[in-house]
Amino acid sequence: MKKTLLIFLLVLAGNITCSAQIKHGLRDSHGRHIIPRGFVINTNDHKGEVFFNSDDYTRMVRMGSNTQVIRLELGKLSSFPGGKLDNNYLIKLDSLVNLGRNAGFNTVFKMTVYGIDRFIWEDFWLNKNNEYNTYIAAWQVIWKRYAEESSVLGYDIVNEPRKLTMKITYNELTKRYLVPLYQKIIDASNLINPKKKILLQSIFMNKGEGIDNNQYAEITTNVNRENIIFAPHIYQNKIEFIKPVMDRFDKESDFLNAPILIGEWGFPTFATTDTLISGPLGQLEYRELYIRTAEVFDRMGVGSIKAWFLGNRSMQNFLPGGPSTWAIFSDKKAAGTVERKYITDIIARPYPQTIAGDIKSFLFNHATRTLDLTIKPDANKGASVIFIGANRHYPDGFSILIDDDFVMYYDPIKNKGLEVYKIPTDINPLDFIWDEKTQKLIILKWPANKAVLNIQIVPGIRN
């Protein structure tokens, strides 16, 4: 029997000084190619505060996470009406950053406008009461606190900006208000922590004004700043529009000269879906939708952050299908444990996390449970990590195939680590390590004499 490929690499080490990759992805301080994946981490939900512990982060690691995006509450960081700087909130943020660092994560902070008396986008854009400086002052609290924290990758500076009732086109709003504000925030951030990344979004369009089922307006004015990442959201529920939407994002990425990191994704789950297997809004439909989205992400090589790592304490009721949620767990706990496996198995699919060299292409085929990966290796850049998730994708074991002359495999019954079926004489099998706890394959060193490596992780074992 054949067994799937090997498990990828090591935890993100050191400061991520990302640069746009072959096309997308990031680079760490060693020049390794990084694909960020993870979850949005909420500090509260509609029922109150949310707290996480190290066990929750271990679960995230075993679901393939290497990045967390922490949602900030403007009301606990600013002097907007109803807001006040909350030192206990800062301590909570410290805890989340520490938990992430200890799990090998990088952290991105995302500012939301929750927690103040009210936030009126039209007033904000006009800036009549110095709203921009008040907003930047809230960010400065975060910038100063984490300027020297190497695991903090960067800042998603304005979450889902809106137009609402303004008598202006989306292009005009972007040119006259959004981009100048981005430039002002970036310049202020660079005075404090110039090495951090700045993540940018486009205008969230009013309901009914989306184009090709895409609710986000196109960025048509260049920001003209370095060290930025384009972080669009995609909550697409129509399979035929996934690739066109991502193709447009790709075009904007070229225009901005910024790699893409999908800041949020995954159409919300309806309350009825947990018990409905097939039919509209059924589990099979969700599985297909998430698989097709994941395939587009992987073919493009983009990182992606899933909303939310939460249980089902509350639901929202703004969609025609009834109450819905972005929570990936179905139990009524803040940090849930009962997975909605019809989506979590797709979220937690195998992929290259960190590659010493360049990732040329990768794709996980859910039908065959095969990860195909092509890289240009660089043996001088250190270790590589491939997330495999064998506990959910390869309970019968897996094999690692590299070109035509390398086969190693893992037999979960024997539980002896990786075993050799065949291997070239110039490759040390001890350079390939299976980490059961993190569900990762760690490659300490690639062979030095190969310009390109074709790698597969496949189900089953050779013996």
What is the per-residue pLDDT for 9? 31
pLDDT band of 22, cuts 50, 70, 90: low
Select from 3.40.50.620, 3.40.91.50, 1.10.3720.10, 3.20.20.80 the CATH code of 26-349.
3.20.20.80
Q: What is the DSSP letter of 272?
A: G
What is the per-residue pLDDT for 449? 85
Closest to 70 (Cα-Cα) out of 176, 156, 130, 191:
156
pLDDT band of 19, cuts 50, 70, 90: very low
Retrieve residue 152's tokens.
């903090």
Q: What is the DSSP letter of 216?
A: B
User: Mean pLDDT over residues 336-346, rounded?
Assistant: 97
Above 50 in pLDDT, residue 6? no
Half-sphere exposure of 107 (CA within 13 A, CB side): 27
207, exposed or middle or buried, with CB in 10 Å at 0-12, 13-18, 19+?
A: exposed
pLDDT (tens digit per residue) in 402-457 = 999 999 999 999 989 999 999 999 899 999 999 999 999 999 999 888 899 999 99
Does domain 357-459 correspond to CATH entry 3.90.1150.10? no
∠ CA(201), CA(203), CA(208), 5° rounding?
135
ω into 125 cis (within 30 of 0): no
Are 357 and 446 contacting, i.e. CB atoms less than 8 angstroms apart? yes
What is the per-residue pLDDT for 1? 37
User: Mean pLDDT over residues 191-218, rounded?
Assistant: 94
pLDDT band of 211, cuts 50, 70, 90: confident
Length of the chain as a residue count: 463
For the beta carbon of residue 77, count every other beta carbon within 10 angstroms.
Answer: 25
pLDDT (tens digit per residue) in 234-274 = 999 999 999 999 999 999 999 999 999 999 999 999 999 99
Exposure string (b/e) for 214-234, b if CB count within 10 Å is 16 or more? bbbbbbebebebebbbbbbbb
Closest to 198 (Cα-Cα) out of 215, 181, 214:
181
Most confidently modeled range among 9-13, 326-330, 447-451: 326-330
Above 50 in pLDDT, residue 109? yes
How many Å separate Cα 93 from the centre of its chain? 19
Strand pairing of 152-156 and 197-200? parallel
Retrieve residue 233's tokens.
């959201």
For the beta carbon of residue 41, count every other beta carbon within 10 angstroms.
Answer: 27
- pLDDT, mean over the chain: 93
Give the percent of the chain with pLDDT over 70: 95
Domain ranges of the chain: 26-349, 357-459
pLDDT (tens digit per residue) in 442-452 = 999 998 888 99
What is the per-residue pLDDT for 11? 36
Above 50 in pLDDT, residue 379? yes
262 forms beta bridges with: 304
Closest to 378 (Cα-Cα) out of 400, 353, 359:
359
Retrieve residue 289's tokens.
């939708």
Retrieve residue 382's tokens.
């250190």
What is d(CA 122, CA 133) in angstroms, rounded to the nearest whole number? 16
Closest to 221 (Cα-Cα) out of 176, 272, 277:
176
What is the per-residue pLDDT for 306? 98
What is the per-residue pLDDT for 324? 95
Phi-psi region of 390 (alpha: psi -120 to 50; beta: other; left: phi over 0): alpha
Above 90 in pLDDT, residue 175? yes
pLDDT band of 463, cuts 50, 70, 90: low
